[in-house]
Amino acid sequence: MKKNDYFIGECVDQSHDGKGIVKYEGFTYFVNGMITGEVGQIKCIKMLKNYGVGRLIELQKPSPERVNPKCHIYQGCGGCHLMHLSSKGQQEFKTKRVKDCMERIGHLEVDVQPCLMQENPWYYRNKVQMPLGYDKNGQLVTGFYKQKTNDIIACNECLIQNEESNAVIQRVKELFVEYNIKPYDKVTHRGNIKHILTKKGYHSEEFMLCFITYQKTIKHIDQIVEILIQEFPHIKTIIQNINERHDNVILGDEEKILYGKGYIYDTLLDNQYKISLKSFYQINPIQVEKLYQTAIDLAHLNNDSIVLDAYCGIGTITLSLAKHVKKVYGVEVVPQAIEDAKNKNPDAFEQLIQPQLQRMYRVAICMLHNEEDAADAIQETVLKCWQKIGQLKSEEYFGTWLTRILINQCKDILKERKKVVPLEEFPELIHEDHYFTNEWGKILSNLNGKYQIVMELYYVDGFSTKEIARMLHITEVNVRSRMVRGRKQLEQILTVRAMD
């Protein structure tokens, strides 16, 4: 099989993000949009060493759980992955995902009950963030980034966002056109408005609106604010967040309150929460209440119960349990998370991790050549990062630090497969039949972080410079340059060791 070849294949399973898994002549292909049990004509669009990527050309045997997506931009948007599956099909997929995680990661055989589905899974999200830009006709649009691109798919009504957010964002767009306020351009760094962000209290109906800007001021902002609060009385606060960065981090550090107090309130299982711009708050209030209440019911709690809520975060579960038991302890290993729990606001962790996910996936899939293993590695990496975030000295080094954790996690998975690569280029550290050792790891840890990563990927894991460039999203020339400098640092370290 080679690129652009066609074949007839059957989908035997689905990956964690809903891609169809097709086995053909002993080789695995990932195909967007296929459902387990379906047969179709597939075009091979990418061939890698351990797997391929296919495109569904013609469906010959559809699944009984296939439905027509309700959203007209579903294929291009990439925000939703399972809208072509019926509610029953999604329930089976999600239940199986939990069962697989329990067995593969937890090594536990448990009876996994069917996923609790939402009766009306539309217009539920209480938090919305939409980028702005121009379409090819020069019209101002709001929407979502097409998967793995910077292209905005225009969306005037998202079917999973609360309806008031849809209405407010469209009105804001009209006002920006009227007052000639331009969106920020990632390439030229001109323009001003990067994103529009909204939050809405499900029970309180209080509404927050935020303009995320590149510049410190917004033209005609007083008139815009006055119009919006008159037309949308649920708006309790309007904020300007200033982000002068040129990367994918959405929120900046500086905020201006343009109207109101800078926060809203909402309740979750009768507990009231103060929600600021950077507060983390569950995005599906209907399902989270159902989830928490189900956990409380199944735990058979009483007034004498003492409960330990491990990894409690800001404590929404802890507080929900409190009135059902004698005492509940919330335990969190991250000092900042304890502070967040006390204040019930900032959750910068989400803002740090979100822009890194695509690069993490690229690194993991290149090292492991397996979708499920890659997903497991990323999941464990995010967990370890959350646990160790207090050790991070500066946000500037977050990407490098996170990649190191991910690479070590991938290595652990490779060790389980008994994959070991000899280090032949530095014989002074190894003997015959000797392989990667803890001592070598200690030496590499003394290198500059950028050099350490490429040296490990090249010498330890056996990846080519081209593969490393693709993983780290840098040029191949940059990879070779880092390797040259890394070797020089390594030689200096080895010289010092020899003298000692």
Could you report the per-residue pLDDT of 121-130, keeping only the tens digit for each?
999 999 999 9
Mean pLDDT value of segment 72-97: 92
Per-residue pLDDT, 392: 66
Mean pLDDT value of segment 375-379: 81
Per-residue pLDDT, 439: 52
* Vertex 81: Cα angle to 80 and 83 (nearest 5): 80
What's the distance, Cα to Cα, between the start and end of the chain in Å?
Answer: 55
pLDDT band at 467 (very low <50, low <70, confident <90, very high): confident
Per-residue pLDDT, 107: 84
Instruction: Give the DSSP H/E element, type plus range, for residue 274.
Output: strand 271-276
Rg (CA), the chain: 25
pLDDT band at 427 (very low <50, low <70, confident <90, very high): very low
pLDDT band at 264 (very low <50, low <70, confident <90, very high): very high
Q: What are the φ and ψ backbone dihedral angles of 227, each rounded to 5 degrees?
A: -65, -45
Per-residue pLDDT, 19: 92
Per-residue pLDDT, 341: 33
Mean pLDDT value of segment 481-490: 84
Per-residue pLDDT, 401: 77
pLDDT band at 422 (very low <50, low <70, confident <90, very high): very low
The larger pLDDT score, comparing residue 347 to residue 248, is at 248
Burial of residue 322, with CB atoms counted within 10 A of its CB: 0-12 exposed, 13-18 middle, 19 or more buried? middle
Q: Are 307 and 325 in contact (CB under 8 A)?
A: yes
Q: Residue 375 in 3-state DSSP?
A: helix
Per-residue pLDDT, 431: 35
Asked whether the predicted pLDDT for residue 7 surpasses 90, the reply is yes
Q: Residue 220 in 3-state DSSP?
A: coil
Per-residue pLDDT, 212: 97
Mean pLDDT value of segment 256-269: 95
- Digit-coded pLDDT (tens) for 320-345: 998 899 988 876 544 443 344 334 33
The winner for highest mean pLDDT among 169-178, 361-370, 457-466 is 169-178
346 token code pair: 């900032």
Asked whether the predicted pLDDT for residue 257 surpasses 60, the reply is yes
Per-residue pLDDT, 146: 84
Per-residue pLDDT, 203: 96
Per-residue pLDDT, 342: 34
Asked whether the predicted pLDDT for residue 389 surpasses 80, the reply is no
Across 361-365, 381-385, 443-447, least confident range: 443-447
Q: What is the mean pLDDT of the chain?
A: 84
Q: CA nearest 70: which of 84, 91, 56?
A: 84
Mean pLDDT value of segment 78-87: 91
Asked whether the predicted pLDDT for residue 227 surpasses 80, the reply is yes
Mean pLDDT value of segment 45-62: 93
Per-residue pLDDT, 453: 77
Express as a percent the part of the chain with pLDDT over 90. 49
**Which one-letter DSSP state was computed for residue 66?**
B
